[in-house]
Structure 1
């Protein structure tokens, strides 16, 4: 089983009563949309971001159609491939990022790796505490579906990371992985053995293995961790200016599908230390629940955004037809509830999303075609 299974509150996914969808013209920040649905008891507005430009246009009701790009698997590859494969490496005296023909053998690293530390320091470090590198974990033998392709492609397109790390025990497979690996030319392959126990206790769930791995990775290298169903709508660079940044999910738990941290960040170390009391039977105890407790106990070590523009809204707004959650101020969305709708999710592709009249259809079109409108 791959590290792609959503959960209520962890890898990240609540049940709320949902009022009928309303469209709001006020656009001060993303909490205008999200808090009116879930956090009405927290009155007041907060100016959260600087130099903020809303995305997605003004029509949020599927009232118009546009001529969409003629995109298929072949044209997608041709229009996105630039240059040769980047390949990191080290010698005793040198660190390099070589360009190689895609057909040549790509090096595979292990974790942790001192060479990769040196590569990140030389090529991916700027004046911000968090390097612009991204991390994905893929555990288990499972086909790489279209929804995961769009997730990783959105990061490639909108975050433009220096390096794109994939930690895996079995490489992803399937058509969409083949397409992604041709488009994204800076993937660093890291073979891992998922942990089986911690603090003397057997790890029960694959999601818990991922929880532990992502913290160890961020401690070692820093960067931005993404779940494989987290979608990036705009650059996250403004969040790289603090040692650790987290956000809240819609159920007031900490969201773990997106973590932003500097190497050896104090909050990440505290979070790792909390696994001394690991409870394998508590689904989110050491992940989203513990992260929230730690953030309240040690606010000086973490920046927490108590709104949803980094993460997600209730899963109802992803799937229900003729509804489009207004994500004009969102940085990213996390796809909750997909396992309960897996038959529906598996029908999504470059053709079917063109007329998919719900939030996820609009988000996917925005990422892949450059606009959110229904295709005519």
Structure 2
């Protein structure tokens, strides 16, 4: 590019000043050239005219502005978090940044209208008088007076009666169970408001299982709760659950022993298959017996199938929300034709993740792992802020001895995530007890 410059005669003593002026003019010319080369939308002519930013540039401006505000928000949240507390506020903000393009609309603080579970103070310096809030009783199974929902199906006469001190069960599969659900638990949602739990083996029914199922009853307010068992639970905590949860119905099952022509080796694999059979048949919300529910899952009941993504990137099968005859559940069950008996998670979470990628229209993924699955260390070694969580998965492996020591007394001053969540479920407050 040629730049013509006209200079008047300059006195000898001003040569240095003249050189400076010429250098600046040349630099200006280079700037104009680069501008025209890389930004062809600017108008060309003898006079430099900067064109008004086009729509895309304007969108970029707003997006950068929004990202700047969001990053400031993340920084502010990170700065105030106690060193022993991992906050999902940060992860939620980062997820928002990844998923949303900030447009010309005014950027909205993701936490502006948010009412956090457990309140805003997570210092755990407040003690509350929860010593008299215990549900615990000292009675035996013979002394408990409980009411139980008893389904009965005679021809087309389907009833759900309330009787005292009975311990009756239904059987799966069976038509009566389906008739009861269709008659008493049908709503406007795709997914009926029923909870499914599976209890296989002869393990001891401990405190964590009581709190887990009680949390589902208290937070979800289900129409009915079904517990599918091969050996009926017993003991103090089972009796207490029956006393306070009248709409839990035990359902006898024969766990699958084969899938195709392959023998099912692990008890956990039998549970994996059984939960899919149950959801395909009835629909509803499946929860592991070590899954703590902190708030209602109704938000997801208008979708055909919903699962959460765990911190390792795989889908977690401790929470499955599905309608009856869900297409995703059907595909998942069909995948068991390639069942590998000795592969631990290949047919469950690994296959579910693969199918979700192949069929994104059949399942809603709650990708923010804070929703259901924090890291295991968060539960036991610190106070994890679960304000954004729907539930917490209590990781049992390697923690059995520690979990067996939990009861109404020990959780009162248990200053970690598990203690706070258990108090929130049982006492309606996460704070430490006096």
| Same topology, TM > 0.5 | yes
Alpha-carbon offset, residue 62 of structure 1: 1.9
| Cα 1:62/1:76, change in 2 over 3 Å | farther
Q: Which has the higher helix share?
A: 2
1:318-337 matches, within 5 Å, as: 318-320=379-381, 323-336=382-395
CA contact (8 A) 1:247 1:254 kept: yes
- Within the candidate set 147, 150, 156, 1:93 is matched to 156
Deviations 1:210-250 (A, max 9, x none): 00000000000000000000001111111100110111011
How many residue pairs get aligned? The number is 341
Give, in whole Å, the separation in 1 of the partners of 2:187 and 2:270: 31
The runs of 5 or more residues in structure 2 that have no matched partner are: 1-77, 101-107
Structure 2: distance between partners of 1:98 and 1:298: 42
Structure having the higher Rg: 2
CA-CA distance at 1:344 after TM superposition: 1.5
The residue aligned with 2:98 is 44
Equivalent in the alignment of 2:207: 146
Q: What is aligned with 2:68?
A: none
226-235 vs 106-115, which moves further: 106-115
Cα distance between partner residues in 1 of 2:197 and 2:95: 36
Post-superposition offset of 1:45: 6.1
CA distance 1:178–1:75, change in 2 (3 Å): closer
Alpha carbons of structure 1 residues 51 and 122: separation in structure 2 relative to 1, 3 Å: farther
Deviations 1:133-192 (A, max 9, x none): 000000011110001110001011111111110100001122101100111111122111
Task: Kindly indicate whether the alpha-carbon contact (under 8 Å) linking 2:372 and 2:390 is maintained by their aligned counterparts in 1.
Answer: yes
Say if 2:284 and 2:323, in contact at 8 Å, map to a contact too.
yes
1:123 shift after superposition: 0.5
Q: Is the 8 A contact 1:31 1:307 kept in 2?
A: no
In structure 2, do the counterparts of structure 1 residues 33 and 346 end up closer, same or farther at CA, with 3 Å as the change threshold? farther
What's the counterpart of residue 122 of structure 2?
Answer: 60
- Find the counterpart in structure 1 of residue 304 from structure 2: 243
Q: TM-score normalised to the size of structure 2? A: 0.74
Equivalent in 266, 269, 282 of residue 327 of structure 2? 266
CA change 1:225–1:127 in 2 (3 A) is same
8 A contact 2:291–2:391 mirrored in 1: yes
Q: How big is the shift at 1:32?
A: 3.2
Distance 2:119 2:310 in 1: 25
Q: Measure, in 1, the Cα distance between the counterparts of 2:128 and 2:404.
A: 25
Match status 1:364 vs 2:427: no
Runs in 1 of length 4+ with deviation above 4 angstroms? 21-25, 33-36, 40-43, 45-52, 73-77
The residue that corresponds to 1:5 in the other structure is none
* Aligned mates of 2:290, 2:428 — CA distance in 1: 19
Q: What is residue 404 of structure 2 aligned with on the other side?
A: 346
- TM-score normalised by length of structure 1: 0.85
Per-residue deviation at 1:73?
4.4
Structural RMSD (CA): 2.6
For 2:146 and 2:263, locate their aligned partners in 1 and report how far apart those are by CA, in whole Å.
Answer: 45
Q: Structure 1 residues 22 and 50 mapped into 2: Cα distance closer, same or farther (>3 Å)? A: closer
Confirm or deny that 1:199 pairs with 2:260. yes
- Between the two structures, name the one with larger relative contact order (CA 8 Å, sep ≥ 6): 1
Matching residue of 1:229: 290
Structure 1 portions without partners, runs of 5+: 1-20
**Residues in 2 aligned to 1:53 and 1:123: alpha-carbon distance in whole angstroms:** 33
